[in-house]
Amino acid sequence: MDYNPLSPEVIDNPYPYYAYLREHAPVYWIEPLQAWALSRYADVDFALRNPQIFPSSGFTNQTLGDLNPTPEVPWILDMNPPDHTRLRKLVNKGFLPRLIRALEPRVHEITRQLIASLRSQTEGDLVSALSGPLPTTVIAEMLGVEAGRLDDFKRWSDGVVLGTSRPTDEAVRAYVRQSGAALRAYFEKLIERRRTDPGEDVITALVRAEEEHDMLSASEILGLAILLLLAGNETTTNLIGNAVRNLLEQPTELAKVRADRTLVPSLVEEVLRYDSPVQLLPRQTAREVELEGGKIPAGATVFLLLGAANRDARKFPEADRFDVTRNPQDHVAFGYGIHYCLGAPLARLEGRIALESLLFDCPPFTCTQECLPQIASIVVRGVQTLPLRFSASGSM
């Protein structure tokens, strides 16, 4: 069986390919991409735990290529110790758990407003009405974007996000570049202003962040602000969308959650495991390395197939079964180790609140479309649209 993450069959449903790789070719050479793929949990986990053997590289190239609006600033995702250690310590200060917990009432409020407009008609698209705008609005407010500029900000950030699908059309590419330039100019002014006029936002926290007499430079803050948009939006959108799609496809699991609201956090973890929003991470090999499934030479590009590792039955019994009561704790959907997702607590908060509101504050719903096209990406997994029809009855 040939595995190529670019092929439409794999994008549509990668799981049969992953099963084949785990069993027959756990260290697999992807000829068209000139990269190796690791699919077993043990190997992916080993790579994540050993960044000195599997350093990071190439995320920017994989996602935006030459459409990156801040090409002069290395992304934290692409960095390695000691530079990564320094930056991550400072950036953590903008994402302290208490700052995220304090957001809960506001995330509820934004969700309530978005759901009201999703339900203003009996039919609506989950992605454009809720799972898309929720993370963008939350991160915009966290970054301290003024209410009056939210629409501009959303337009620019959507424009930059378009670049992650690596468009070839020159008009689209020009639009991505313009959006990036506008977003950049906006952030440059905001960062400058926060130095003299601090607020209660992440940019202010980053401007103030100090660690052993070290501080972030303006361009580092700019790069981080733009990365936060890209790393946190589509991923969280797909967490919510994948949860709803899988629940609709498996009504017994949906009924279990509807019968017990306390299962929502477990549902969130199970979706992250079962249908991971980030399917693969790129790494390099610093030296030749011998894994359970074979050898990889030094200097090679390696894709860690998170989506395959999370379905490995050696780690998760009956891994191909979607079980909302499973509450898996050691899936690798947020990575592991030094690059562990900075936004994981925020994504969990948004996912839980959006799903609770949909399942408990809305009438029952069905999907009006049989075949849901997947986003054409080798990195993220999620549907482009998810049209829902709400039943006419009041809330459940």
Using CB under 6 A, pick the residue from 346, 349, 372, 386 that binds ligand HEM: 346
Q: Does 342 participate in binding ligand HEM (rule CB under 6 A)? A: yes
Q: Is 187 in the site for ligand HEM (CB under 6 A)?
A: no
- Residues in region 138-177 near ligand HEM by CB under 6 A: 139
Q: What share of the chain is helix, strand, coil (3-state, %, to 5)?
A: 55, 10, 35
183 binds ligand HEM (CB under 6 A): no
Cβ atoms of 306 and 332 closer than 8 Å: yes
User: For tokens 């940019």, what's the residue?
Assistant: 203
Binding of ligand HEM by 357 (CB under 6 A) = no
- Spatial distance between the Cα atoms of 67 and 46, rounded to a whole number of angstroms: 32
Number of residues lying near ligand HEM (CB under 6 A)? 24
Would you say 245 or 339 has its CB closer to ligand HEM? 339
Of 76 and 183, the one with the shorter C-beta distance to ligand HEM is 76
Contact between 347 and ligand HEM by CB under 6 A: the answer reads yes
CB of 343 to ligand HEM, least distance (A): 2
Residue 229 makes CB contacts below 8 A (sequence gap 6+) with 136, 139, 157, 160, 161, 183
Among 6-14, 177-185, 233-241, 370-378, which window interacts with ligand HEM (CB under 6 A)?
A: 233-241
Distance CA 283, CA 23 (A): 22
Nearer to ligand HEM, 56 or 179 (CB): 56
- Applying CB under 6 A, the span of 32-40, 104-112, 126-134, 275-283 interacting with ligand HEM comes to 275-283
For position 277 contacting ligand HEM by CB under 6 A, the verdict is yes
Q: Is 231 in the site for ligand HEM (CB under 6 A)?
A: yes
Asked if 47 touches ligand HEM (CB under 6 A), the answer is no
Q: Extract the tokens encoding 61.
A: 């190239």
Structure tokens at 83: 């530079």
Cβ distance 205 to 99 under 8 Å? yes
| Residues 34-70 as b or e (16 or more Cβ within 10 Å = b) | ebbbbbbbbbbbbbbeebebbbbbebbebbbeebbbb
Closest CB to ligand HEM: residue number: 343
Nearer to ligand HEM, 94 or 293 (CB): 94
Does 107 interact with ligand HEM (rule: CB under 6 A)? Answer: no
Non-local CB neighbours of 25 within 8 Å, separated by 6+ positions: 3, 39, 293
Supply 119's token pair.
């339900």
Among the listed residues 96, 179, 176, the one whose alpha carbon sits nearest the alpha carbon of residue 142: 96
Among 60, 235, 301, 310, binds ligand HEM (CB under 6 A): 235
Asked whether position 274 contacts ligand HEM by CB under 6 A, the answer is no
Distance, CA of 379 to CA of 194 (rounded, Å): 34
One of 198, 335, 363, 387 touching ligand HEM (CB under 6 A): 335
Residues that bind ligand HEM (CB under 6 A): 56, 76-77, 88, 139, 227-228, 231-232, 235-236, 239, 277-278, 281, 333-335, 339, 341-343, 346-347
